[in-house]
Amino acid sequence: MSTLLEVSGVSVSFDGFKAINNLSFQIGPAEMRAIIGPNGAGKTTFMDIVTGKTRPDEGRVLWGDKSVSLLKMSEAQIAQAGVGRKFQRPTVFEDQSVFDNLLLALKKDRGPFAVLAYRQSARDAEKVAELAAEIGLSDQLSRKSGELSHGQKQWLEIGMLLAQDPQLLLVDEPAAGMTLEEREHTTTILVEAAKTRAVVVVEHDMEFVRRLNCKVTVLHEGAVLAEGSLDHVTKNQDVIDVYLGR
Ligand SMILES: Nc1ncnc2c1ncn2[C@@H]1O[C@H](COP(=O)(O)OP(=O)(O)OP(=O)(O)O)[C@@H](O)[C@H]1O
Ligand SMILES: [Mg+2]
């Protein structure tokens, strides 16, 4: 299997505390992966490292067919290279409509071809409609984004990330604060998105993880404790001891 993202021997310390400790694992293209583990295991820090927000003290983070190092790239360059990240607090423009938010995300500078793309407005409207359908907001396009429910704002944010067509989408605790129905819809969106790109989801909600129906990586003290199907890792005694049995 080819590899999209390879994290190898990565460590990072904060004030002498090793938040990530010789972490190694790989993500394949168009793979859905869940990352679970106790508070402070290093899940968010892993995403910070991949996106260039935090620089590791040691190790390698390699990206794509050509295995380029993400560690030499700026946050903007990493985003440009195809890594999208969803933050917990949505960053939608509340005063703008759903349509305009998606359109803006679509037109966000993508390099030398952005000027050419700017002229294709009919195609843009079509693309916005496609994105809205993907996130289940087709009937909300003219609504002011500030009026959306918490869940709808999260979906809009996912749509805005998908507008940039990332090869890897990192999502940190998407289910937080959502109703069961909203969580189920979020699963559907992410599963669909993972058909054409890699999606890595950090989540504490085990029902949510179960619905993702994917390989699970368990982090503990900044390293991989277990990996495999959810059934496999939840039977692992170490995983029960440090996480599930709390
Ligand atoms: N910028 C930072 N400065 C100092 N310490 C940090 C920083 N970022 C993370 N840490 C510490 O590193 C450890 C790992 O934190 P991280 O946020 O990655 O955990 P997590 O697995 O995402 O936990 P949670 O499930 O609670 O979100 C924690 O002890 C945290 O306090
Ligand atoms: Mg976290």
**pLDDT score of 220:** 98
pLDDT in tens for each of the 246 residues of the chain? 689 999 999 999 999 999 999 999 999 999 999 999 999 999 999 999 999 999 999 999 999 999 999 999 999 999 999 999 997 777 899 999 999 999 999 977 655 555 555 555 788 899 999 999 999 999 999 999 999 999 999 999 999 999 999 999 999 999 999 999 999 999 999 999 999 999 999 999 999 999 999 999 999 999 999 999 999 999 999 999 999 886
Give the side-chain half-sphere CA count within 13 A for 244: 16
**pLDDT score of 121:** 75
- 40 CA closest ligand 1 atom index: 19
Which domains does the chain show, CATH number per domain?
Answer: 5-244 (3.40.50.300)
Ligand 1 atom 12 nearest Cα:
19
Q: How far is CA 106 from the centre of its chain?
A: 18
Ligand 1 atom 24 nearest Cα:
39
3-state SS, residue 179: coil
Count other Cβ atoms within 10 Å, centred on residue 136: 16
Measured from the CB, is residue 53 less than 6 Å from ligand 1?
Answer: no
pTM exceeding the 0.75 threshold for the entire prediction: yes
- 42 CA closest ligand 1 atom index: 18
N-terminal to C-terminal alpha carbon distance within the chain: 36
The alpha carbon of 127 and the centre of ligand 2 are apart by a number of angstroms equal to 32
Which ligand approaches the C-alpha of residue 15 most closely?
1
Ligand 1 pocket mutation, candidates 17, 35, 44, criterion most atoms within 8 A of CB: 44
